[in-house]
A and B are shown apart, each in its own frame.
Chain A
Amino acid sequence: MANQIQYQYKEDNLLKSEPNKYQEKDLKSEEMLVNLGPQHPSTHGVLRLEIVTDGEIIRDVVPHLGYLHRCFEKHAESLPYNQTIPYVDRMDYLTAMNSEHAWAMGVEKMLGITDKIPKRVEYIRVLVAELNRMASHFVAVGTYAMDIGAFTPFLWMMRDREHIQRLLEWASGARMLYNYIWVGGLFYDLPVGFEDRCQQFVDYLRPKLDELKRLVIDNKIFVERTANIGVLPLDLAINYGVTGPMLRGSGLRYDLRKVDGYSVYPEIDFDVPVGEGLVGTKGDCWDRTYVRVLEIHESLKIIEQCIQKLKGEHKRTRDFDPQALVPKKIRPKAQEIYTRAENPKGELGFYFRADGKSDVPFRCKARSCCYVNLSIISELSKGSMIADLIAILGSIDIVLGEVDR
């Protein structure tokens, strides 16, 4: 008897879940309320899309976020600046190096030591950040192909990403959450032989990228599923604050590495790829993926130039200490700054308020790219099919650690 009572349906059980924006009574007779659960592998269970559908056509999408509760800002406001770096890693766990770089640059700017950082440190930072950018784009393209229904590209991308993870593990000791870039320097110099091994990896990857292009980008099924889907006009993208490959996919050549020219990027020769609408309309899902693949090529270019500099002009010396400038105590004078950097997924910004009296920021806000990029999904998917919603969500390339706060 006890079991029967347990399995009885209680009406108010439903009320215990996060309330929907739409209720059954708001809907027209043909419409239906559907919950779309986790689809993209990086959204495992932490994003719910509430969809109002008419048959297979989507009328409205309401994203429900905030299931991770990592409390980044709360942590950042209770810890000294240098101790927050491990938490920055966990924001977008696929691009930890880039986020660390943005954080370190912001704190260095507050301390006024941006120009004093040794060139070798800067080149190593750019090298590891670009390696991480490629790893992120591998996941983006691989899992996107999996969203569309192909499994092989995912395995192939993961195989190549493994090499990057091993390289970064060799440098920092961790595979994903590195804590390698410190305020004022690095955790450690590159291990001996890293530059050669990195060059070998570049030579290995170049032909593999042609494989990737044939397997995914030029694939007829892939083109049919993504071209002319989720078209994002440029003015709408800017109005929604969308950045990164999504904005460039819509045809604007806007890259903070070029615009702000931070770190040593002005000394490096690379292009900013944009979507051109080769197979569909400019700014569709295919264009966004295409831009990511082209960016992997550009990252390879940057990495090769960094290796040349690190082996030539700024080569390893016996007395070089990457921690020489790392401050023992970080206490910036009272000020407010907003600092930003180009992450693989877009503009990562940090707002800092220092009160000049403590080592802990008075207020720290993270403007994360995934959070802002995701906000456009309702606009993009209205009027499309449910299957296309999966393609649109995948092409945004979100990591929920950064959507959450």
Chain B
Amino acid sequence: MQFEDIINIIRQSCGDEVIQEVNELSSPKMIVINAEDLIQVAESLYSNESLFFDMLSCITGVDNGPEANTMEVIYNFYSIPFEHALMLKVVLPREKPVVASMVSIWKTADWHERETYDLLGIHFEGHPDLRRILLPADWEGHPLRKDYKHQEYYRGIKVEY
């Protein structure tokens, strides 16, 4: 299936305006959608019989820095039987990065979203158990943010030794 066909099917099932932007230079090719439409698009990606993206490979959070003042969440989908791929991007405001959780559709999103929350501070609405996963629960800040400054002391231990 070609990239155009995938876009057409998404437009048919979710409406014409749902796709904000198409990026054919990235690999795999990417579409950008609004954060509000995420669950609707994801459900059609999973349940549409000709798309059938059964594998959610990766969820990446990106911080564009204080100047751009946006954050992004990027999803990589693969379809094992049809062997096609899609990259999906959601752009969020940096002050309040909230996006819907995918756990109800792909269980693998559970740990990926917890990691993104832990390292970048992006909140996933509807996640059953959004705790820190890699860092201690009382760690301050999210290390992969571009303006991250680590705390000087952690439980009385100097962080930068």
B13 within 8 A of A: no
A367, B62: Cβ atoms closer than 8 Å: no
- Give B138's nearest chain A residue, CB to CB: A19
A252, B80: Cβ atoms closer than 8 Å: yes
| B-contacting residues, A315-374, CB 8 Å | 335-340, 347, 349, 351, 353, 362-363, 365, 367, 371-372
A405 within 8 A of B: yes
B12 within 8 A of A: no
B55, A351: Cβ atoms closer than 8 Å: no
A239, B107: Cβ atoms closer than 8 Å: yes
Q: Which residues of A contact B76 (CB under 8 A)?
A: 338, 349, 351, 367
Q: Cα distance A371–B109 when bound, in Å?
A: 12
B115, A241: Cβ atoms closer than 8 Å: no
Q: Cα distance A400–B23 when bound, in Å?
A: 36
Min CB distance A302 to B, Å, is 22
Q: Contact mask A361-405 → B, CB, 8 Å, 1/0?
A: 011010100011001000100000000000000000000000011
A338, B58: Cβ atoms closer than 8 Å: yes
A372, B135: Cβ atoms closer than 8 Å: no
Given contacts A66-B135, A351-B58, contact A16 B155 (CB under 8 A): yes
Q: Which residues of A contact B30 (CB under 8 A)?
A: 336
Q: Cα distance A379–B103 when bound, in Å?
A: 14
Q: Cα distance A231–B131 when bound, in Å?
A: 28
Contact of B27 among A18, A66, A337, A372 (CB under 8 A): A337
Q: Cα distance A299–B111 when bound, in Å?
A: 32
Min CB distance A53 to B, Å, is 20
B137, A19: Cβ atoms closer than 8 Å: yes
A238, B55: Cβ atoms closer than 8 Å: yes
What number of A residues sit within 8 Å (CB to CB) of B? 41
A238, B54: Cβ atoms closer than 8 Å: yes
Q: Which residues of A contact B106 (CB under 8 A)?
A: 239, 241
B108, A351: Cβ atoms closer than 8 Å: no
Min CB distance B118 to A, Å, is 8
Q: Which residues of A contact B27 (CB under 8 A)?
A: 109, 335-339
Q: Cα distance A381–B8 when bound, in Å?
A: 42
B143 within 8 A of A: yes
A349, B26: Cβ atoms closer than 8 Å: no
B23, A336: Cβ atoms closer than 8 Å: yes
Q: Cα distance A154–B109 when bound, in Å?
A: 35
Q: Cα distance A353–B71 when bound, in Å?
A: 13
Q: Cα distance A69–B143 when bound, in Å?
A: 12
Q: Which residues of B contact A74 (CB under 8 A)?
A: 143-144
B28 within 8 A of A: yes
B80, A338: Cβ atoms closer than 8 Å: no
Contact of B133 among A66, A71, A109, A336 (CB under 8 A): A66
B144, A351: Cβ atoms closer than 8 Å: no
Give the dominant DSSP class at A's interface.
Answer: mixed
Contact of B111 among A18, A353, A365, A375 (CB under 8 A): A375
Going nearest first, the 10 A-B pairs with the smallest beta carbon separation are: A241-B108, A66-B134, A367-B58, A365-B60, A336-B26, A375-B111, A337-B27, A351-B60, A363-B62, A338-B76
Contact of B80 among A16, A109, A238 (CB under 8 A): A238
Most chain A CB inside 10 Å of its own CB: which residue of B27, B60, B135? B60
A365, B110: Cβ atoms closer than 8 Å: no
Min CB distance A68 to B, Å, is 9
A223 within 8 A of B: no
> Besides A239-B54, A241-B55, 6 other CB < 8 A contacts?
A66-B135, A240-B107, A335-B26, A335-B27, A336-B23, A405-B119
Q: Contact mask B21-47 → A, CB, 8 Å, 1/0?
A: 001011110100000000000000000
Min CB distance A163 to B, Å, is 35
Q: Contact mask B91-134 → A, CB, 8 Å, 1/0?
A: 00000000000000011101110010001000000000101011
B58, A65: Cβ atoms closer than 8 Å: no
A254 within 8 A of B: yes
Q: Which residues of A contact B136 (CB under 8 A)?
A: 18, 66
- Give B46's nearest chain A residue, CB to CB: A239
Given contacts A66-B135, A335-B26, A337-B26, contact A365 B80 (CB under 8 A): no
A73 within 8 A of B: yes
B56, A241: Cβ atoms closer than 8 Å: yes
- Give A376's nearest chain B residue, CB to CB: B107
- Give B106's nearest chain A residue, CB to CB: A239
B60, A372: Cβ atoms closer than 8 Å: no
B87 within 8 A of A: yes
Q: Which residues of B contact A2 (CB under 8 A)?
A: none
